[in-house]
């Protein structure tokens, strides 16, 4: 029996055996939970849940979370931003690059097949072989053509899992890039919603200031009329005019903030401020949902994209330890090649024109000045760093959610108090005006009551806006809306 097939079968069997070996290095396991707590806040901070923090069961939320704040303008602007924002385009490009690197890493695990062909015209120098007078039947230095076709296969055995760990690392990095893209998506939607609420609050504040100025002018007219009738001193009119002048100074700063918010929103939607004007958002249309579903701590680590990205980076760092460890072991490979060569094209596929070769290669590092072992230590250190970064990301996320849950609860309390303040101030102003009209009091109590009502109205607009801002931030902080992909 021809021993060549036997050697070939033995080589294939050895390759199958070696490639089935377990890869060296640690296997990745998901980090243990940092806490078993069922709530983000200490017990003494929880108190009675307000309507806006009713559900902490982690119930499902629509992918487009902002639609729970029903505003067609907000929905349209966020979708515009998602389609045109450069940061999303950059995140998409990074994700594509990571996926390409993964495809390349997986390709390194497969055999490499190559083909070759050649045609050459040759002239033989007989004198170089000591035949100065030529050979019988040949002219001096005969010419001939040579044609060949061939192919080769090289198969890395990856006996110690270097290529497999490399693919594992690339896969984890691609996963991290996907979560980073999700984080960019979630962050952008939150930023656009924040600017929209900011615009709505500023417009409401300007409307309240306009109402304040109208009240101030009525007070000035009232003081002038009273002074002309002899029922009020000139100082009352001066005080009323001074109050009007002071309130007029509120307009310019609010308009400045309004302009800045409009410009910021234009940039978020991928426009220059001169090319696009945002809609006039209405604070009343951006109503807060009756319940704000909040993920439980045990679920947060499985849905917040920055935590998932940190976990994927830890996975990649763990696989990199295996890559570095595998470099300490021999590289094994098998190769095979076949060549068909003939002097005439018509004979190239004849059996006598066939040549082939089989080879096995082993490369074992013997001395490298400690470089390879230092690489293992470095990879292990990076893995420890990635674990610490993951833990810090989780703790920071828990702290952020706790802050926002508490903030929403306090916002509701502040809003209720602000409504009561407006009601009391309005009633006080009404009674003081009646008393002034009846001659039972002077103008100064009217001016003071008007000032209190003005401050209460501005405070109410800000409280309404703050509740919406914190409620939206809570959706972003808990990673809601990403369960079905971004």
Q: How confident is the model at residue 483 (pLDDT cuts 50, 70, 90)?
A: very low
Which range, 231-245, 266-280, 428-442, is most confident? 266-280
| Residue 62 pLDDT | 53
Q: Is the pLDDT of residue 7 over 70?
A: no
pLDDT at site 246 = 87
Of the listed ranges 42-56, 83-97, 169-183, the least confidently predicted one is 42-56
Q: Is the pLDDT of residue 124 over 90?
A: no
3-state helix vs strand vs coil in the chain, percent to 5: 60, 10, 30
Arithmetic mean of pLDDT, 118-138: 70
Percentage of the chain with pLDDT > 90? 45
Q: How confident is the model at residue 364 (pLDDT cuts 50, 70, 90)?
A: confident
Rounded (5°) CA angle 314-318-324: 140
Long-range contacts, stretch 72-77, CB < 8 angstroms, 24+ apart: 73/196, 73/279, 73/281, 73/285, 74/192, 74/193, 74/196, 74/281, 74/286, 76/279, 77/192, 77/196, 77/265, 77/269, 77/278, 77/279
Using 50, 70 and 90 to split pLDDT, how confident is the model at 19?
low
Most confident of 64-78, 152-166, 376-390: 376-390
Q: Give the contacts of 92 (CB within 8 A, at least 6 positions apart).
A: 181
Model confidence, pTM:
0.81
User: What pLDDT score does 134 carry?
Assistant: 55
Gap between the terminal Cα atoms of the chain: 63
Residue 22 burial (C-beta neighbours within 10 Å; 0-12, 13-18, 19+):
exposed
Does the pLDDT at position 415 exceed 90? yes
Percent of the chain whose predicted confidence (pLDDT) is above 70: 85
Separation between Cα atoms, residue 269 and residue 363, nearest integer Å? 55
What average pLDDT does this structure show over 412-418?
Answer: 94
Return the pLDDT at 22. 76
Residue 133 has pLDDT above 80, yes or no: no
Q: Measured between alpha carbons, how far is 124 from 194 in angstroms, rounded to an integer?
A: 83
Residue 339 has pLDDT above 80, yes or no: yes
CA atoms within 13 A of residue 163's CA, in its CB half-sphere: 21
Q: Give pLDDT tens digits for 314-333.
A: 999 999 999 999 999 988 88
The whole-number average pLDDT for the span 221-250 is: 76
**150-185: per-residue pLDDT in tens?**
899 888 888 898 999 999 999 999 999 999 999 999
Tens of pLDDT, residues 240-256 = 788 889 889 999 999 99
- What phi and psi values does residue 85 have, to the nearest 5 degrees? -70, 130
pLDDT of residue 221: 78
What are the tokens at 290? 């009756």
- Residue that wins the pLDDT comparison between 190 and 295: 190
Q: Contacts by 392-397 with C-beta closer than 8 Å and gap 24+?
A: 393/306, 393/307, 393/310, 394/34, 394/301, 394/307, 394/310, 395/34, 397/300, 397/301, 397/304, 397/306, 397/307, 397/477
Give the pLDDT confidence score for residue 318 in this predicted structure.
96
Residue 127 is given by DSSP the state G
Contacting residues for 245 by C-beta, under 8 A, at least 6 apart: none
Contacts of 455 (CB under 8 A, 6+ apart): 425
The residue behind tokens 């009391």 is 424
Residue 139's pLDDT band (cuts 50, 70, 90): low
Average pLDDT over residues 187-208: 94
CB 301 within 8 A of CB 33: yes
Per the model's pLDDT, the better-predicted residue between 402 and 389 turns out to be 389
For 325, list phi and psi in degrees, rounded to 5: -65, -40
34-111+160-327+373-477 maps to CATH 1.20.1600.10: yes
Residue 9's pLDDT is what? Answer: 43
The residue whose two tokens read 């810090």 is 392
Name every residue whose Cβ is closer than 8 Å to that of residue 355 and which is 6 or more positions away in sequence: 338, 339, 340, 341
Provide the 3-class DSSP secondary structure of residue 271: coil
Which pLDDT score is estimated for 473?
92
Please give the mean pLDDT across all residues of the chain.
Answer: 84
Alpha-carbon distance 127 to 455, whole Å?
112
pLDDT at 482: 55
Length of the chain: 486
Give the side-chain half-sphere CA count within 13 A for 322. 25
Please report where in the chains the tokens 């993964």 appear, as a residue. Answer: 102
- Determine the Cα angle at 127 with ends 126 and 131, to 5°: 75
CA–CA distance, 59 with 40 (Å, rounded to integer): 17
* Residues contacting residue 313 through CB under 8 Å, at least 6 positions apart: 172, 173, 176, 386, 389, 390
What is the predicted pLDDT for the residue at 485?
44
What does the block give as tokens for 80?
């515009």
How far are the Cα atoms of 1, 401, 478 from residue 45, in angstroms, in the given order? 85, 13, 19
What's the order of all strands across the beta sheet hosting 112-123?
Answer: 112-123, 143-156, 331-342, 354-363
**Residue 472 and residue 197 in contact, taking contact as beta carbons nearer than 8 Å:** yes
Residue 234 has pLDDT above 80, yes or no: no
Q: What is the model's pLDDT at position 465? A: 94
* Per-residue pLDDT band at 56 (split at 50, 70, 90): low
**Of 220-224, 346-350, 465-469, highest mean pLDDT:** 465-469
**Is residue 47 very low, low, confident or very high in pLDDT (cuts 50, 70, 90)?**
low
Residue 239 in tokens: 């005080």
Long-range contacts of 7-11 (CB under 8 A, 24+ apart): 7/358, 8/336, 8/358, 11/334, 11/358, 11/360
Residues 203 and 352: their CA atoms lie apart, in Å, by 91
For residue 99, the model assigns a pLDDT of: 94
Domain ranges (residues) in the chain: 34-111+160-327+373-477
């Amino acid at each position: 029996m021809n021993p060549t097939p036997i050697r070939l079968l033995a080589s294939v069997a050895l390759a199958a055996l070696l490639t089935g070996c377990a890869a060296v290095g640690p296997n990745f396991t998901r980090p243990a939970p940092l806490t078993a707590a069922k709530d983000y806040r200490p017990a003494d901070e929880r108190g009675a849940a307000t309507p806006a923090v009713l559900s902490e069961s982690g119930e499902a939320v629509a992918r487009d979370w902002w639609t729970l704040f029903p505003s067609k303008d907000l929905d349209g602007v966020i979708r515009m931003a998602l389609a045109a924002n450069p940061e999303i385009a950059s995140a998409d490009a990074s994700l594509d690059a990571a996926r390409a690197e993964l495809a390349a890493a997986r390709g390194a695990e497969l055999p490499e097949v190559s083909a070759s062909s050649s045609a050459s015209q040759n002239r033989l120098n007989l004198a170089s072989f000591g035949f100065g007078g030529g050979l019988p039947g040949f002219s001096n230095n005969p010419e001939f053509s040579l044609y060949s076709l061939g192919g080769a296969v090289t198969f890395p055995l990856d006996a110690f899992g270097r290529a497999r760990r490399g693919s594992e690392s690339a896969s984890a990095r691609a996963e991290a890039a996907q979560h980073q893209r999700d984080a960019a998506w979630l962050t952008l939607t939150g930023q656009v919603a924040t600017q929209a609420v900011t615009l709505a609050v500023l417009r409401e504040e300007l409307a309240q200031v306009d109402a304040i100025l109208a009240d101030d002018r009525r007070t000035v007219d009232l003081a002038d009329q009273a002074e002309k009738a002899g029922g009020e001193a000139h100082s009352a009119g001066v005080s009323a005019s001074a109050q009007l002048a002071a309130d007029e100074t509120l307009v310019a700063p609010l308009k400045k903030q309004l302009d800045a918010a409009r410009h910021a929103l234009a940039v978020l939607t991928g426009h220059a401020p001169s090319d696009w004007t945002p809609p006039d958002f209405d604070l009343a249309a951006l109503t807060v949902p009756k319940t704000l579903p909040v993920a439980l701590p045990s679920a947060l680590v499985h849905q917040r994209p920055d935590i998932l990205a940190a976990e994927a980076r830890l996975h990649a760092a763990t696989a990199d330890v295996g890559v570095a460890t595998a470099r300490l072991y021999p590289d094994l490979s098998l190769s095979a090649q076949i060549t068909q060569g003939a002097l005439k094209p018509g004979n190239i596929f004849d059996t006598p024109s066939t040549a082939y070769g089989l080879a096995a290669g082993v490369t074992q590092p013997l001395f490298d000045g400690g470089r390879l072992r230092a690489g293992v230590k470095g990879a292990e250190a990076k893995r420890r760093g990635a674990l610490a970064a993951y833990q810090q990301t989780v703790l920071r996320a828990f702290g952020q959610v706790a802050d926002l849950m508490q903030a929403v609860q306090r916002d509701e309390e502040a809003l209720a108090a602000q409504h009561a303040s407006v009601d009391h101030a309005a009633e006080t102003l009404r009674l003081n005006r009646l008393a002034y009209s009846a001659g039972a009091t002077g103008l100064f109590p009217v001016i003071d009551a008007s000032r209190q009502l003005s401050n209460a109205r501005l405070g109410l607009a800000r409280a309404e806006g703050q509740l919406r801002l914190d409620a939206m931030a809570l959706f972003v902080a808990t990673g809601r809306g990403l369960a079905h992909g971004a």
